[in-house]
Structure 1
Amino acid sequence: MNLSRILRHLFTGPLAVRRLFPGPALIAIEQAIKQSEISHDGEIRFAVEPALNMLPLLANQPARERAIEAFAQLKVWDTEHNNGVLIYLLLADHDVEIVADRGIDVRVGGGNWEKICREMEGAFRRGQFEAGVIAGIQAIGDHLREHFPAEREGGQNELPDRPVIL
């Protein structure tokens, strides 16, 4: 059990999310997702969670495991081409995870997702939260555009573009 991690999670709450992602930032992130999805048939979701609940925290649940749970909870897997991508930020751990459905993951691979995560985390360390998320959306959009270029007329949005605060 890591005491410093437990303390970070206990003292990171919804106010921290609102401070780092105020309303205009969430709107800008939503617009970035909308703009990206015009050029490809993939789906991007962004979710931020201030901290883990006590039981997962005491069980030392890693951010990756929680991101996979959020991927299922938000139904990011439920797309026609299995090309949904979740950007998950566990704020208390300063950890970004990307979970991609099998249709896109097999084509892009873990190393590319990991690189995007590290670049976003670097922006966050510099205090650039909105810019970091938008850069991640753009990088993911590049991969989706390469492997799933837009074929649908008018664009059918399979998942909401609005950021989620868990």
Structure 2
Amino acid sequence: MAKEFISVKDEEEIVAAIRISEKNTSGEIRVHIEKKCPTELFERAKAVFHELKMDNTKLENGVLIYLAIEDHKFYIMGDKGIDRKVPDDFWESTKNVMQDHFRKGNFKQGL
């Protein structure tokens, strides 16, 4: 599915950027891309968060970026530990920046 949304080169660059971020922080970041969201967006992101064991990080600092391509929906989910560390508007402002890139077709930059 990711190959249809972003190029292989872009995917490699996103993975490299995530690795760099993870080296500079204690957080764990995952991107999960699906064609369609089979349930309500928050519930699906929460289910994927648990399936990927993002809630099993030592410092409760996992972050999931869930995308449903054909539905044009995405959700950013951070675990409790990271939620305590970031400003109150962090996820909303991050979502807005990502959404702006996505609207322009800049999916790699958005991610």
Give the structure-1-normalised TM-score.
0.62
Give the letter for the 2:44 counterpart.
Answer: R
Shift of 1:110: 5.5
2:3 is aligned with 1:18: yes
Aligned 8 A contact 1:51 1:90 in 2 = yes
Distance 2:101 2:94 in 1: 11
2:76 is aligned with 1:101: no
Tell me the residue number matched to 1:47: 32
Q: Please identify which structure carries the higher strand content.
A: 2
Tell me the residue number matched to 2:62: 84
Shift of 1:93: 2.3
Give the structure-2-normalised TM-score.
0.89
Gaps (5+ residues) in structure 1? Answer: 1-13, 134-166
Tell me the residue number matched to 2:19: 34
Deviations 1:5-39 (A, max 9, x none): xxxxxxxxx3xx42321211111111000111111
Tell me the residue number matched to 1:120: 98
Distance change >3 Å, CA 22–CA 132, structure 1 → 2: same
Measured on the aligned residues, the alpha-carbon RMSD in Å equals 1.5
Give the letter for the 2:106 counterpart.
Answer: Q
Shift of 1:111: 2.6
Shift of 1:83: 0.7
Give the letter for the 1:129 counterpart.
Answer: F
Secondary structure at 1:24 match in 2 = helix
Aligned 8 A contact 1:96 1:120 in 2 = no
Deviations 1:87-112 (A, max 9, x none): 11111222221111111112325631
Tell me the residue number matched to 1:5: none
State which structure, 1 or 2, has the greater radius of gyration over its C-alpha atoms: 1
Distance change >3 Å, CA 33–CA 50, structure 1 → 2: same
Gaps (5+ residues) in structure 2? Answer: none
Give the letter for the 2:94 counterpart.
Answer: I
Distance 1:110 1:84 in 2: 17
Of structures 1 and 2, the one with the larger relative CO (CA 8 A, separation 6+) is 1
